[in-house]
Amino acid sequence: MHKTIAEHPTLADKFNQDEERVNWHDETLWWVRAKRDKAAHTLPEWEDLRNLASQIKHNVLSNLSEYLIQFEENALKNGIQVHWAADAQEHNAIVKSILQKHGVTQIVKSKSMLTEECHLNDYLQEEGVEVIDTDLGERIVQLAQEPPSHIVLPCIHKKKEEIGELFHLHLGTPAGNADPQFLTEAARLHLREKFLTRKIALTGVNFAVAETGEFVVCTNEGNADMGAHLADVHIACMGIEKLIPLRQHLGVFLRLLTRSATGQPITTYSSHFKKPRPDQEMHIVLVDNGRSRQLGRKDFRNSLKCIRCGACMNTCPVYRRSGGHSYHNAIAGPIGSILAPNLDMKDYADLPFASTLCGSCSNVCPVKIDIHDQLYKWRQVLVKEGHAPAAKKAAMQGMAFTFSHPAFYRMAGKTGKWFMKTTPFMVNNNFNPWYKQRDMPEPPKESFHDWYKKNRKENGHG
């Protein structure tokens, strides 16, 4: 049974009602994209790093079962308790069982897109557990009772004045104070008490090393370290594709990750967790949740190379002007649009169509995922599986017939040109989606076909 979900065009239209917000959302993300370009250009070996990272990930995906077993063996030797989850439900149940074992009803959590994918916060809240997100951006959207709109910049859609109002309501800051430095300090004081009093901390995982059984968490705020080091129990949750074979491979991925994400040379904190402290318990939950199915799809397996940098979002003209929430999925933007249909084709059939197929996403991807090609291929799969809207399917069939019959194509062109010249109101109206945002072009004086025939005759080729 499928839930009713508003589709991308509807949600994007809602976002676009605030033109000022759309403009600075677009400009801010393009500024981040420009920072990425400058950072990349400082490394002469940038393209070599991208190629190497892509090849390493290809090796991981081709030998995933062996690397998972190797990682588990080494993690167990290190004293980490390893759990396996086939899907989101199993993942959430495992986390709940650990909390119940320790009698804990309050935890701190650093950024984890996997837990967003599994809807862990909502699940634990229903079970009576208080979850405090400690990443500043994540905490802001949590207070607003919204999901993150970007995997690196969770509250990029929020104005500072809105954040000030949220903090006034929930943290008691002075009304009307929207100074970013003041609000950051207020959040720091608010979260410090949470860190000191919570016995269990949950983190995501950026990379897990099969060779050593360790995992690496990258943050700019140090909140993952604060939570994990002060807690009696550390739970780390990761998708099974996060593996890399050797520790030395971190030298490739850490150089690519943050330059691609924010234009920084490296994250402020790249923290290695190999074994628990003598008085600490450490768990890692390895989650499939459709990844094995995606691995078996020849055209789409490369999407599992993703290192969650968000570069494709920052460059995508559709994402920048429609907002992350329009994708109604934990992971938005181009990469989310090729991952989501794997989870549920029916619910996410609209997302591969939320793209111009310009290829900018593929151009900036640090692990060289062919994102725009996969978007195109997903469209074909979804139409064949019967998940395209009836109107779109009929329109495409009509276009296919028109393009495959030259005489009908020329007649349709002449008819359209006649309507645009003599009865422009037939195309310049609100029933035409193109006209809602743009002026229709002037009808051409002659078609390319007519121009070509005439010029061939004039040049003696008739």
For CA atoms 291, 294, 295, 300, the dihedral sign is negative
The single residue listed with the structure tokens 């979850």 is: 131
The single residue listed with the structure tokens 């839930």 is: 3
What distance, in Å, lies between the first and last C-alpha atoms of the chain? 62
Residue 388's pLDDT is 81
What span, in angstroms and rounded, lies between the C-alpha atoms of 192 and 197?
Answer: 9
Residue 363's pLDDT is 97
Instruction: Write the single-letter amino acid at 362.
Output: S
pLDDT string in tens for the chain (462-residue length): 445 678 999 999 999 999 999 999 999 999 999 999 999 999 999 999 999 999 999 999 999 999 999 999 999 999 999 999 999 999 999 999 999 999 999 999 999 999 999 999 999 999 999 999 999 999 999 999 999 999 999 999 999 999 999 999 999 999 999 999 999 999 999 999 999 999 999 999 999 999 999 999 999 999 999 999 999 999 999 999 999 999 999 999 999 999 999 999 999 999 999 999 999 999 999 999 999 999 999 999 999 999 999 999 999 999 999 999 999 999 999 999 999 999 999 999 999 999 999 999 999 999 999 999 999 999 999 989 988 878 878 888 889 899 999 989 988 888 888 888 888 777 777 777 777 777 777 888 888 888 888 887 666 665
Residue 1's pLDDT is 40
Residue 233's pLDDT is 98
For CA atoms 16, 163, 165, 27, the dihedral sign is negative
Residue 6's pLDDT is 80
Domains of the chain: which residue ranges? 43-289, 391-456
Alpha helices (H) in 118-159, listed in sequence order: 120-126, 136-143
DSSP 3-state of 382: helix
Residue 393's pLDDT is 81
Residue 460's pLDDT is 63
What span, in angstroms and rounded, lies between the C-alpha atoms of 109 and 276?
Answer: 18
Residue 370's pLDDT is 97
User: How much is the pTM?
Assistant: 0.90
Residue 461's pLDDT is 62
Among residues 269, 306, 307, the alpha carbon closest in space to that of 134 is found at 269
Answer whether 346's CB lies under 8 Å from 48's CB: no
Q: How big is the chain, counted in residues? A: 462
Q: Give backbone dihedrals phi and psi of 57, rounded to 5 degrees, phi first.
A: -65, -35
Residue 262's pLDDT is 96
Name the token pair of 375. Answer: 């978007």
43-289 CATH fold:
Rossmann fold (3.40.50)
